[in-house]
A and B are shown apart, each in its own frame.
Chain A
Amino acid sequence: MTARNRELGGVLVAGVIAGTALASVTIARESEISATAVGYGAVFLGLYLAAHIVVRRTAPYADGALLPLTAVLTAFGLALNYRLDPDDGGRQALWVLIGLGVFAATLIALRHDYRVLESYRYLFGVAAVFLLLLPSVPGLGERVNGVKLWVAVGPIQFQPGELAKIFLILFLAGYLREKREVLAQGRLKDFGPLLAIWGAAMLVIVQTNDLGSALLNFGIFLAMLYVATGKVLFVAAGLALFVGGAALLYNAIDRVHERVTIWLQPWTDERVICVLNGKLEFRQDCASYQLVKSLYSIANGGFGGTGLGEGTFTSTDGTQLIPALGTDFIYSAIAQELGLIGAAALLLCYMVFVARGMRIALRAQDGFSKLLAAGLTFGFALQTFVIVGGVLRIVPLTGITLPFVSYGGTSIVANFLLLAGLLLVSNRANSPR
């Protein structure tokens, strides 16, 4: 069986999963199977079949597992977003449509040789830094929960950080391919670029207060540097610098300080000063309210979950118990409604995605392709880890999205770009010469 036929089979299975998930949400909501749910399932399947056909035409030798895995992940996201807020679900579906369009356009545009991108590496580098700092431009940036992640131009809002991640990986793949031999010698002056990027990461934290995006981008940089040079020393030095810098900022910036305090001690036995209202409150009722409620949500799922549409997210009077449930905390909604089985299945999808992505990096023939695939895949894994790890209290919580699942347009589009990149590298690596 060829990779494309496996992909077709996988997409069909993903379509069944999406249809079932949407149907069970509508059953829980209206106590009947509505025709619309079946319709949504059919449209979903149709979109992915169209994408499959584009892949068949433009990248026939590409890995056959990634597109079905993406379909399953977006099905999780659509079902959950539709369940939490039908309007958000509709918009999310539109974004998946746009994402698939961008995916198809990228495949078509770069079908002959994506490696032309290598020559634009510095342009990508500058664009990445520009995008990362864009939210802190006065008048453009919007603060959400004290973190500047969004840019608003008129009615259009987007998170430039998501695109910056892709651009940064493109830049690093090109730059490191060129400089890897020189860097591997480990001369002191070659630490310059490393220090420059570390400085940029710290600047991003200071400017946007966004620890998560700094952690993500700096982690991608260290991983790609390691792949390029094989020097563990670089990674160790980079980590030490990052932790040292973050520790300094921990004391200097209230926002970072608060996030870390919440992470270390979400529950207090005594009342502490609440920044939100200036009164004395238990921390679980104030600063760490969101994290603690999210942990309760996860715990309430137990082994089998409450079932789609049966979870508890609102109080008895209909008010939302967990703010930002559809974006930052989508994982705690999944964990409650689908339980350990469903959450583990979702994480398994991510693991298989990562394993396939790394396999593509291994099979790629040239340095640029290897670095690109490894960087994209590691970025995907690290982003999943940072947001879900934050929700699970492994690392301090930061507001980034869960790839393909969280509600949010920029994130969906950026991750479809990432998928297109991996398929292009894979197609080239597997194509017979």
Chain B
Amino acid sequence: MNRQIVRLTYVALGLVGALVVMTTYWQTWAAAGLADRQDNAIKRVAEFSIDRGLIFSWKPRKRLARNIERDVEQNTLFFRRYPYGPLAPHVIGYSTVGRSRTGLERSLNDYLTSSNANLSTLVDKALDELRGKPVEGNDVVTNLDLEAQEVALEQLGTRCGAVVVLDPRTGKVRVMASTPTFDPNLVENNFAQIERIEADCRPAAPLLNRASAGLYVPGSTFKVITAAAALESKKFKPESSFVDPGYCTVYGKRVNNFDTSSPFGTVDLVTALTYSVNSVFCNIGKALGAKRILETAKRFGFYERPPLETPTDERQASGLYQGGRLYYPKLDSDVDAGRMAFGQERMLVTPLQMAMVAGAIGVGGRLMEPRAVDKIVGPGGKILLRQRPTLIRQAVSRETADEVAAMMRLAVARGTGTAAQLPGYSVGGKTGTGETGVPGANTTWFIAFASRDEESPAELAIAVVLQNQSGTGGATAAPIARAVMQAILP
């Protein structure tokens, strides 16, 4: 029987050995993946014993997230408080026991809890643990301009929409407002109050960051990209002339201008963008083909999630959507290029993306990575991470960008965007009205950049979107852009 017993020994030891292997797997290989899971209550609760890093605004420097200490059964726990409540919960997010985390609280959790793999952080953390002190997290300084953020929220008021302001030279996000907003202090214990929030749109979705995850029909704001694509193709020049009959025929169907009563007659590209003439862009679209325009859109960052520091699933990529999924046509004939050229035809964009487009046009075609975070500072004051301006790519040539910028300046000077004029600054903008066919349910847009004069690069870029409007982008969104720009410019 001894041979059998020896073999059985191998089996028995193999069984227990498999336990060692699997324990190793869960504790090393799979540990990081499990720690990131949203339902990981163990990790989440364990992190409440850490004196979490604070989150600051850029100007004025205020604490947007702080901690309150509470003793629970011999343990000191740190709970989050957000002194500015509903001011910027979509960027900052929240950190709770019951509902996990969102926003920067989630994506920068490793820094905020000092569990980032940085040698000096690890040493500090080990020392804190040995001394029996709570581990101190690292502080995050954002790029948010608190006063402008406040103005943006006031301007949006009870309407559903979003405002994004960037410094297009560096990509720093100065304003990221989304309405309806919510008070992150209520998430832990009074979540029902947030669920009851009502607004002009259904669902109200107060938790959604409309600025980076809301997808909207771009309407005429997309003409900026079509114009850039037209100039880049060398087939068209700003002075290329078109005859506007008041409509354009695509696949045998008439597509009307916004106002069909008075056709423009013979116009050049500059005038077409200034007054947002659909038929001209429709014909440009047909001449260029959908893929050429989409390639230019891609150069501006479409078809990828803008690389902001917020969690991936709180950002959406802009582009053509089909059945709820991002869709890139194989053939030109798969897409109605005429309608796409002026922002219809399954094209969906985020306000963040459109602010990036306006910004790149305003600074000679340089598309910068958007940055919500300025720097991350360790407990000793040491800067662990400084977000430096990063160029994504030269979206279009300098000449193309400057020519489109000039057209956008004209649109504000005497075209559809006159409501956004700012004394002392040269503003270039583009309005947009995404018609849904239901009266009073238009999505209205205004995207713009502002510079000292026509020669200097833009100092800020803005995108404003409003849901369920009965007016045009020029009448509803442009005044908001003006007020927010005024708040931020010196």
B125-165 CB contacts (< 8 Å) to partner A:
132
B201 at interface (Cβ–Cβ under 8 A)?
Answer: no
Cα of A306 to Cα of B31 in the assembled complex, Å: 14
Given A228-B1, A318-B73, A370-B5, decide whether A302 and B97 contact each other with a Cβ distance below 8 A.
no
Inter-chain CB contacts under 8 Å: number: 155
**Contact between A392 and B19, CB atoms less than 8 A apart:** yes
Cα of A351 to Cα of B11 in the assembled complex, Å: 11
Cα of A339 to Cα of B26 in the assembled complex, Å: 11
Report A-chain residues with C-beta under 8 Å of the C-beta of B12: 354, 358, 377-378, 381-382
A25 at interface (Cβ–Cβ under 8 A)?
Answer: no
A298 at interface (Cβ–Cβ under 8 A)?
Answer: yes
Cα of A31 to Cα of B11 in the assembled complex, Å: 45
Indicate which residue in B5, B22, B24, B97 contacts A358 across the interface (CB closer than 8 Å).
B5
Indicate which residue in A227, A317, A340, A361 contacts B27 across the interface (CB closer than 8 Å).
A340
A346-367 CB contacts (< 8 Å) to partner B:
347-348, 350-351, 354-355, 358, 361-362, 367
Interface size class of A (residues with CB under 8 A): 35 or more
Indicate which residue in A227, A297, A300, A385 contacts B19 across the interface (CB closer than 8 Å).
A385
**Contact between B8 and A298, CB atoms less than 8 A apart:** no
**Contact between B4 and A227, CB atoms less than 8 A apart:** yes
Report A-chain residues with C-beta under 8 Å of the C-beta of B27: 298-299, 301-303, 335, 339-340, 343
Cα of A279 to Cα of B13 in the assembled complex, Å: 44
**Contact between B16 and A299, CB atoms less than 8 A apart:** no
**Contact between A378 and B8, CB atoms less than 8 A apart:** yes
Interface string of A214-233 (1 = CB under 8 A from B): 00000000010011101000
Given A354-B12, A362-B2, A377-B12, decide whether A298 and B19 contact each other with a Cβ distance below 8 A.
no
A29 at interface (Cβ–Cβ under 8 A)?
Answer: yes
Binds B, one of A134-142, A194-202, A253-261, A288-296: A288-296
Binds A, one of B36-44, B239-247, B467-475: B36-44
Cα of A195 to Cα of B95 in the assembled complex, Å: 58
Indicate which residue in A293, A321, A374, A394 contacts B5 across the interface (CB closer than 8 Å).
A374
B30 at interface (Cβ–Cβ under 8 A)?
Answer: yes
A236 at interface (Cβ–Cβ under 8 A)?
Answer: no
Report B-chain residues with C-beta under 8 Å of the C-beta of A389: 15, 18-19, 22
**Contact between B4 and A392, CB atoms less than 8 A apart:** no
Given A299-B34, A344-B20, A351-B16, decide whether A282 and B8 contact each other with a Cβ distance below 8 A.
no
B74 at interface (Cβ–Cβ under 8 A)?
Answer: yes
**Contact between A347 and B8, CB atoms less than 8 A apart:** no
Q: How many residues of B contact A (CB 8 A)?
A: 44
Q: Which residue of A lies closest to B26 (CB)?
A: A298
**Contact between B97 and A362, CB atoms less than 8 A apart:** no
Q: How far is the CB of A240 from chain B (nearest CB, A)?
A: 17
B331 at interface (Cβ–Cβ under 8 A)?
Answer: no
Report A-chain residues with C-beta under 8 Å of the C-beta of B35: 299-300
**Contact between A299 and B26, CB atoms less than 8 A apart:** yes
Report B-chain residues with C-beta under 8 Å of the C-beta of A348: 20
**Contact between A300 and B8, CB atoms less than 8 A apart:** no
A277 at interface (Cβ–Cβ under 8 A)?
Answer: no
Cα of A176 to Cα of B139 in the assembled complex, Å: 70
Report B-chain residues with C-beta under 8 Å of the C-beta of A293: 41-42
A384 at interface (Cβ–Cβ under 8 A)?
Answer: yes
Given A296-B42, A350-B16, decide whether A302 and B1 contact each other with a Cβ distance below 8 A.
no
A388 at interface (Cβ–Cβ under 8 A)?
Answer: yes
With A300-B42, A358-B5, A377-B12 known, 6 other A-B pairs at CB within 8 A are A31-B132, A267-B37, A285-B39, A340-B28, A351-B16, A392-B23
Interface residues of B (CB under 8 A from A): 1-9, 11-13, 15-20, 22-24, 26-28, 30-31, 34-35, 37, 39-43, 45-46, 48, 72-74, 77, 79, 97, 132
Pairs A–B under 8 Å by Cβ, sample size 12: A30-B74, A295-B34, A296-B43, A297-B42, A300-B31, A300-B43, A315-B45, A318-B72, A321-B42, A343-B23, A344-B23, A384-B19
A-B CB proximity, top 7 nearest: A381-B12, A385-B15, A358-B9, A312-B46, A299-B34, A392-B22, A296-B42
